[in-house]
Amino acid sequence: MNAPFTPSLSGGFAHPAHDAARAFRAAMQALARPGRIEPITGAAPPAPLSPAAGTLALVLLDQTTPVWLAPSHDTGDLRAWLTFHTAAPFTTPQAAMFVIGSWVAISPVSRFSIGTPDYPDRAATLIVEMPDLRAEGPRLTGPGIRDSARLSLPETAAFQANHALYPLGFDTFLTAGDRIAGLPRSTHVEEN
């Protein structure tokens, strides 16, 4: 007798060591080069999580990284998938090290940890699901950007306020389909 198919058991990396290394490199490149859109693949998570966000979850989450799923992404199937593949505990927005959801669902972003002066690395990382990513929109400048870059952002004011807190503040991955872009707190965001 065959065991019933369980969605939470599938959708992980086919070649864990190789896929995780490639995905981690793409994630770090995205943060090191703000505004640059990178392909990232390897995961096949349950809806509504995109392959890019699922792949990020597989390489960034573990049993020591509390995650908050915004209402847009808080489903039983996704909770089971993340638990099986990452063992990350679920928590409140204020205690989350990682946040996953659409921009509307995670707002207001002021409730997430921005770290402390002694431990700025204790800030939250946002994984924001977008309908699309394009190299157009607000102007980005700062470390890792030669001259300037452009990126389609869900808004500018929240990212401007976040940058004003530097070296505190949250870091952000924007995801769409199988693509990501990074927006670290060190990036200055200007309207067109």
Residue type, 4: P
DSSP state of 117: S
Q: Are 10 and 45 in contact (CB under 8 A)?
A: no
Instruction: Say how far apart CA 42 and CA 19 lie, in whole Å.
Output: 6
Res 181 pLDDT > 70: yes
Stretch 80-93: mean pLDDT: 97
pLDDT band at 7 (very low <50, low <70, confident <90, very high): low
CA 67/CA 128 separation, integer angstroms: 13
Number of H helices, E strands in the chain: 5, 9
pTM (predicted TM-score): 0.93
Phi-psi sector, 87: left (phi>0), alpha (psi -120 to 50), beta: left
- Of the options 3.40.50.11310, 3.30.1330.10, 1.10.760.10, 3.30.70.860, the CATH number for the domain spanning 14-190: 3.40.50.11310
Q: Please, which residues have CB within 8 angstroms of residue 121's CB and are 6 or more apart in sequence?
A: 115
Average pLDDT, the chain: 93
Alpha helices in the chain (DSSP H): 16-32, 51-60, 76-86, 103-106, 157-164
